[in-house]
């Protein structure tokens, strides 16, 4: 039932007379038929005893907050956290317990855990310990706080986000009393750091049902809550994601859209692969729709948001910086939002021109190919989340995708893609900025179909243009160098 290292550690603990169980998320995942991300054990051995055992059995271990009673083991290469049974007493902090007391009974340890489905334990013989009905809730797909929900969210506000995240990961609903208590705990979010909140949001975005998670965040009012952002100098309160909450109920042009901006956004979010850049881009691609200065009526008198991608990119940058999303990811997301309305017709000339413009935003063809690939994936999901009659436009996008692959495989967009290197040009013109200019010129001529990107063809072209001048140029170049040296 457990991986060999987990079994080995359980056996070692049992053999020394201690109780030991696999607890928490691993039990939930095993009962769901999923592979656990990690294994956590709970035991009545105190941290000191755990470290002694590790030494005796030659296991790597290090205390990971002995105050909290957690010792990290590495068993045959597998990291396993072992926690001593404990209760936690909460004070003013919105997440960290004020006091930890060690206990002798598993049941009391399970009682401190957040949700019934996370409050189960399995022993070495596969016996399930489930004092709060976690297995039944798991079967029915329900997240329910252990004990009094208001108390539990008041103790630790992070549980509010964890509830939405587990619902998104498992496709569960949150039991009504628990959901109501999350709403009431909104103000406690003020005690959480923006990094913790961001981590939970990103895990929701990467989950199997990100729209379920976002819908719960919205319903519970967590998108409009405030959290703490601290830097070296000061601490300030920042809102979580009110920009997203605003999209709820914003109507759209029914010529292209069946749904309001919120529902459309949720469809696009679930329509892109589980990759953080794409998920953020999907979440924020229409963030400026309906904004004052963007929302207007077109000539036909229909709702319209011209240039929403411009303000959208600015708003996306603000959101991502505020939530301290990784800079590389944030940069790409802003780019995707900015570009998501601009596509060429699927014809080579138009595609080359479009790629040529986009190429300026990247330093090489790998970057360009990756960015454009993401952009086309986003567009496909965007179209699918729109009106039902989109088959023709989806076909167009598929043709564009093919054409982009073909063009990127054949046509250079950077000097590094040429079949001749700068070295060769320098043989004709000497080293210097003129080499780069000639390479750029070759790139453009190949794009325009005037030359083929083949070594012989390009060398012949260089020979024809600069062959006679070869010596003269080198002469001149040397002259210039001499003069510079004399200065």
Residues of the shown chain interacting with ligand ATP in the complex, contacts defined by CB under 6 A? 24-25, 37-38, 40, 113-114, 118-119, 156, 158-159
| 246-253: long-range pairs with CB below 8 Å, 24+ | 246/290, 247/286, 247/287, 247/289, 247/290, 248/218, 250/289, 250/290, 251/290, 251/303, 252/289, 252/303, 253/298, 253/302, 253/303, 253/304
Task: Select the residue whose beta carbon is closest to Mg ion and give its number.
Answer: 25
Please, are residues 245 and 218 in contact by the beta-carbon 8 Å criterion? yes
Among residues 28 and 365, whose Cβ is nearest to Mg ion?
28
When CB distances are held under 5 to 8 angstroms depending on the partner's kind, the choice from ligand ATP, Mg ion, none that residue 305 binds is: none
Residue with tokens 């169980």: 21
Among residues 35 and 484, whose Cβ is nearest to ligand ATP?
35
Residue with tokens 């459309």: 264
Number of residues in contact with Mg ion under rule CB under 5 A: 2
| Residue 280 CB coordination number (10 Å) | 27
Position 83 contacts Mg ion (CB under 5 A):
no
Rounded to whole angstroms, how far apart are CA atoms 64 and 82? Answer: 10
CB of 11 to Mg ion, least distance (A): 22
Among residues 116 and 226, whose Cβ is nearest to ligand ATP?
116
Q: Is 360 exposed, middle or buried (0-12, 13-18, 19+ CB in 10 A)?
A: exposed
Among residues 146 and 400, whose Cβ is nearest to ligand ATP?
146
| Sole window of 17-25, 105-113, 293-301, 455-463 interacting with Mg ion (rule: CB under 5 A) | 17-25
Among 5, 6, 13, 25, the residue binding Mg ion under the rule CB under 5 A is 25
CB of 369 to ligand ATP, least distance (A): 33
Rounded to whole angstroms, how far apart are CA atoms 473 and 476? Answer: 5
Which residues 31-60 are close enough to bind Mg ion by CB under 5 A?
38
CB of 24 to Mg ion, least distance (A): 6
CB of 11 to ligand ATP, least distance (A): 22
Task: Select the residue whose beta carbon is closest to ligand ATP and give its number.
Answer: 25
Using alpha carbons, list the distances in angstroms from residue 183 to 157, 173, 198, 211, 237. 11, 15, 19, 18, 19
CB of 162 to ligand ATP, least distance (A): 6
Please, are residues 255 and 263 in contact by the beta-carbon 8 Å criterion? no
CB of 414 to Mg ion, least distance (A): 44
* Chain residues in the site for Mg ion (CB under 5 A): 25, 38
């Amino acid at each position: 039932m457990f991986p060999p290292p987990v079994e080995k550690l359980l056996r070692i603990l049992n053999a020394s007379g201690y109780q030991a169980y696999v607890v928490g998320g691993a039990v939930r995942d095993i009962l769901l038929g999923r592979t656990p991300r990690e294994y956590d054990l709970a035991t009545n051995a105190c941290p000191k005893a755990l470290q002694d055992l590790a030494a005796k059995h030659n296991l790597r271990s290090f205390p990971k907050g002995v105050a909290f009673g957690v010792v990290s083991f590495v068993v045959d290469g597998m990291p396993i956290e072992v926690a001593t049974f404990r209760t936690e007493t909460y004070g003013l902090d919105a997440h960290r317990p004020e006091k930890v007391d060690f206990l002798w009974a598993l049941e009391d340890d399970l009682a401190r855990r957040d949700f019934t489905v996370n409050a189960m334990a399995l022993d070495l013989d596969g016996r399930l310990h489930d004092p709060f009905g976690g297995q039944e809730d798991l079967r029915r797909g329900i997240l329910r706080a252990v004990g009094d929900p208001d108390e539990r969210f008041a103790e630790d506000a992070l549980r509010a986000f964890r509830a939405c995240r587990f619902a998104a990961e498992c496709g569960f609903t949150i039991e009504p009393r628990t959901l109501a208590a999350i709403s009431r705990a909104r103000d406690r979010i003020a005690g959480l750091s923006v990094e913790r909140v961001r981590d939970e949001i990103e895990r929701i975005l990467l989950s199997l049902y990100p729209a379920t998670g976002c819908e719960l965040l919205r319903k519970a009012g967590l998108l409009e809550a405030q959290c703490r952002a601290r830097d070296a100098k000061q601490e300030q309160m920042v809102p979580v994601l009110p920009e997203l909450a605003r999209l709820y109920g914003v109507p759209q042009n029914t010529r292209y859209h069946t749904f309001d901006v919120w529902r459309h956004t949720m469809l696009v979010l679930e329509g892109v692969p589980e990759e953080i850049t794409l998920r953020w881009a999907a979440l924020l691609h229409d963030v400026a729709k309906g904004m004052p200065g963007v929302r207007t009526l077109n000539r036909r008198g229909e709702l319209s948001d011209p240039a929403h991608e411009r303000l959208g990119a600015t708003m996306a940058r603000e959101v991502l910086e505020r939530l301290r999303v990784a800079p590389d990811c944030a940069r790409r997301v802003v780019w995707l939002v900015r570009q998501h309305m601009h596509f060429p017709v699927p014809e080579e000339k138009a595609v080359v021109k479009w790629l040529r413009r986009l190429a300026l935003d990247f330093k090489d063809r790998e970057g360009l190919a990756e960015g454009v690939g993401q952009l086309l994936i986003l567009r496909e999901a965007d179209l699918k989340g729109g009106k039902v009659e989109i088959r023709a436009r989806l076909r167009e996008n598929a043709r564009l995708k093919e054409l982009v692959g073909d063009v990127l495989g054949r046509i250079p967009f950077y000097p590094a893609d040429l079949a001749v290197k700068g070295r060769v040009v320098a043989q004709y013109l000497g080293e210097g900025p003129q080499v780069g200019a000639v390479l750029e010129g070759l790139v453009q001529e190949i794009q325009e179909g005037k030359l083929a990107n083949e070594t012989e063809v390009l060398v012949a072209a260089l020979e024809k243009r600069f062959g006679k001048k070869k010596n003269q140029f080198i002469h001149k170049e040397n002259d210039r160098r001499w003069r510079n040296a004399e200065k």
